[in-house]
Structure 1
Amino acid sequence: MSLTSSAAHLARRAAQRERVRILYRRALKDTLNWAVHRHLFYGDAANLRERFEQHRHVEDLDTIDRMIEDGEATYNKWRHPDPYIVPWAPGGSKFTRNPTPPEGIEIVYNFGREDND
């Protein structure tokens, strides 16, 4: 194997690892969206991890690419239609609920504890 093909092989493997990592994290977060209770999530998360671990030692690059594409297609097919969004994150129910007041309006945070000089 020449130096160029070795570098290309390593670069492709690194890209595949990154795609698998991203797919696993997305699927794990989406599994939490489907779980009604946390104890149900733990079992689903363990099953998901087993599915990824089954193919951990596959070495053929084309097979790995095909498996990643199949996994991404399955993820997109079963993705939750209404995922949980943290309330204060963009898209959450409390995001910018209380916008900053306009200029000229002062908020007194120590109301009732002012100095009486």
Structure 2
Amino acid sequence: MSVVSYLARRAAQKERVRILYRRALKDTLNWAVHRHLFYPDADALRERFEANRNVEDIELIERMITAGEAAHDKWRHPDPYIVPWAPGGSKFCRNPTPPAGIEIVYNYGREDND
């Protein structure tokens, strides 16, 4: 394996690990009701990732990433928290745009009193 392909593959693996960690951390927050319950779970998750930080075998890293992604997909929260104004949130498109032909006047109290 050439040096360039090795470095490219390692960079891709690092990115996948970063994405997996962020997704797992956000999902941990979905399972915890309060922050004081979340912090120990987040510390345990970080320790699991840190335990394998110095692994150098590319094939072993690939298998570990695949197993981690499969475990995350299996234990993902069935009803994740969605920010209210994000797509799928409770406030997303709450106030639809008015129909054509309706004009909204924003000069409240400053109307012409002729």
By the TM > 0.5 criterion, same fold? yes
Counterpart amino acid of residue 89 in structure 2 = G
Aligned to 1:7: 4
Given candidates 73, 80, 85, the residue that maps to 2:82 is 85
| Runs of 4+ residues over 3 Å off in structure 1 | none
Cα-to-partner distance string for 1:49-88 (whole Å, 9 max, x where unaligned): 1100000000000110011011111101110001011111
Alpha-carbon offset, residue 17 of structure 1: 0.3
Determine the structure 2 residue equivalent to 1:111: 108
| Aligned match of 1:100 | 97
TM norm structure 1: 0.91
Please name the residue that 1:69 is paired with. Answer: 66
Residue from 15, 28, 42 that aligns with 2:39: 42
What is the alpha-carbon distance in structure 2 between the residues aligned to residue 19 and residue 83 of structure 1?
Answer: 21
1:110 is displaced (CA, Å) by: 2.8
The Cα of 1:106 is off from its aligned counterpart by: 1.3
Percent of pairs identical after alignment? 79
The 1-side partners of 2:100 and 2:76 are apart by 44
Q: CA RMSD in A?
A: 1.3
With the length of structure 2 as denominator, give the TM-score of the two structures: 0.93
2:61 maps to 1:59: no
Give the number of aligned pairs: 114
